[in-house]
Structures are given as C-alpha cells and as structure tokens.
Amino acid sequence: MKNMTKRTLVAGAALALSVGMLSACSNGTSTGDKPADSGKDGGAATIGLLLPDNVTERYAAADKPYFEERVKELCDDCKVIFANADGDAAKQQQQAESMLTQGVDVLVLDPFDGKAAAAVVNQAKAKNVPVISYDRLIDSADVSYYVSFDNEKVGELQAQALVDQMKELGLPEDAGIIMVNGSPTDPNAAQFKKGAHSIIDASGLSVLAEFDTPGWEPPKAQDWVSGQVTQFGDKIQGVYDANDDTAAGAIAALKAGGITPLPPVTGQDASLAGIQRILAGDQFMTVYKAFKPEAYQAAELAVALTKGESPEADTTADTASGDAVPSFLLKPVAVTVDNIKDTVVADGLYTIDQICTAAYADACAEHGLK
C-alpha cells in the first residue's frame, strides 16, 4: 500500500505540468501555431469531452466538473462541449462526429469501446483535430496523449490486498475465490485483470470461476455471482471484484445467498457507497484514483493543444495493437478502513459528513472518523 506522503507527491507532480512546455513527444497532429486561447477560426477554442457511461458515478461527480474547472482556470474564453455515451459505442461515435462537425479544436475521449473508438481518432486526424485518450486507452497509434493511471498496478493492489486479508483470516492457502472482472469492451479492464492474475496465480488460491461483466453493469455482476453462490456456496472465501459498482452487486448476491460471514471483497474507484460499505464491513477495500489530478492533467493538455503546443509526456503506454502513445500515468492507492481519513477525506473527495450519514454513524465512530 502506498503511503500518503508518496501519493501526495505523485498527485502534486501531475498537477505541476506546465502547459507551456515544448516537446516533440506527441503522436497526434498539431493544431498549428495559433494565438493563445484561439480556435480554428480565430475565436475562442472549443474542447470536446466525451465520457463513456452513467453507470460509474465518478464521471458525473468528479471527472466532468474537475475537467471543466481546470479548463476555465487556464482559458476563460475556452468552451467545453460535453457528451456521455450511456454505455453505447455507436452513440459515442455519433457524439464525436457531431463535435467534429461543430469544429472542436481538441477531443478528450474516454472510450466506451477502446477498439471502436479508433474510428473517431481517424476522423479527427482527417480534420487535424488531436485526440487525448482519457482514462481508457484507445487502440490507435494516432492518439496524441493518454492520461490515466497505472492500470495493471490497480489490479495488483486489489489482488494483493485480497490475498493478504485471506491469509490474515487464517484461510487455507488454496481457498476458493471468484473473480468479477470489468467490461470486455473496456481496455482498462483487461489491464486490471492482468495485474490481478499476476498476484493471484502466484498465491496458490483457487479461482473457482471468473466473469467479464458487460458494460460494468452491477445487475449483471449480481446475477452471475448469484449463480456461483448456488454452485459453490461457502467455498467462496474471497471475491476479486474490479470496481465498487459491480462489488455492490456481488455483495448483494452473497447476502441473498446466505453467505455468512461475508468473504473479503475488493473494489475500485473509491465511490462514496464503496467507502461506506468498507466502514460497514461489507466490502474489504477499494482503490482510490485521484480523479482531480487526472482530470486536471487532461484539461491542461487540451488547452495546450489548442495553442499548438506539444507538452512532453512522462512515459509511453502501449495500445492493444502495440503502438506506443505518449502518456501521463498516475499512481493508484489501496484504501481500507484504516486509511479512509488519510486518503479520500484528506484529499477532499468526500467530507466526514458525506460519509458518516446516520446509517454509518456508529461505524464512523468506531473507526475514528469524526
């Protein structure tokens, strides 16, 4: 688990990106030399922000407002056009085409389907519009930048926390677990799973079954876990779950199936409901990804690109086809009941009052959240 000091330094470093840096590290086509904060026709620059779904609460609660906030700080005249694909790759394609028709200067695209979104990049390139791949990596060599987290590390953190907790509980080394993975269309989900398997496969734990959850939809995760409870019962002694929303479905299925006590269940995204489940003892851990520096980084890059600049990336990441894309990868942090105050509260993601509602007041008091 990363300590708070190191995580803060990482986040601070991400926020310190200067939008005026010069570099030749961009894959995408430049918008050319333009006056500061000007668009293609000499007016105010326009930035398109496309997010993938409304299932995951972070997009509306954190990514969109933080992105818009940072753009406003850097470029008072810049305009942000927003669209959410509602879990539909075809709809996202149409939204992107509409933005390109409207003459956006930059697209910031979090793809619902990483492969399908390559068509958007092709269309943007034809119009000399750079594309920033946000949070999920588009399978295209023509992406200008990728802004995300070390996603294999996310899976490693989840799996290591699960393995360690099962050992702490004194469970057999070959105890059975089930794996509730993310959406098969999400390129990040494959990285989470790869990182998780690198730990689980070496641990000796027995993977009873695993499932790739279409669209990250909690009801689908719940239905699948219900079937595993029927088949395996209390042989399920641990649950690797790729995010908090599907973890909620898994936990509901475990409770409905009479599995007592609940096995340790992992998660990701540090959703408010996930944090509350951790306090209540229903969920063991989550992974906190500091959405503010991620959204700020993307906003800073977008504004820089509207000015014809090409900031230097920290590293590269490989697409599914093996193409290297200039990247900024922030570091995720494992969160358990022991460090809620030092992570999501200290960062201002949630206040104590938001977390410690009446239903969780006793749990908050027990764990020193006040």
pLDDT of residue 287: 98
CA dist., res. 51 & res. 92, Å (int): 8
- Residue-level pLDDT at 28: 37
Q: Are residues 103 and 169 in the same domain?
A: no
Within this chain, do residues 343 and 207 fall inside the same structural domain, yes or no? yes
Do residue 134 and residue 173 come from a single domain?
Answer: no
Query: Does the pLDDT of residue 273 top 60, yes or no?
Result: yes
pLDDT digits (tens, 9 = 90+) for 38-96: 565 556 899 999 999 988 878 888 899 999 999 999 999 999 999 999 999 999 999 99
Instruction: Say whether both 308 and 174 belong to one domain.
Output: no
pTM: 0.78
Into how many domains does the chain fold? Answer: 2
Report pLDDT digits (tens) over 145-164.
999 999 999 999 999 999 99
CATH number, position 22? 3.40.50.2300
Residues 239 and 113 grouped into a single domain = no
Same-domain status, 187 and 67: no
Are the CB atoms for 236 and 162 separated by under 8 Å? no
Regarding whether 129 and 183 lie in a shared domain, the answer is: no
Task: Name 131's bridge partners.
Answer: 107
pLDDT (average), residues 300-318: 95
Is the pLDDT at 13 greater than 60, yes or no? no
**316 lies in the same domain as 182:** no
Please give the residue range of the domain that contains residue 63: 4-149+291-331
Q: What is the mean pLDDT of residues 134-141?
A: 96
71 shares its domain with 11? yes
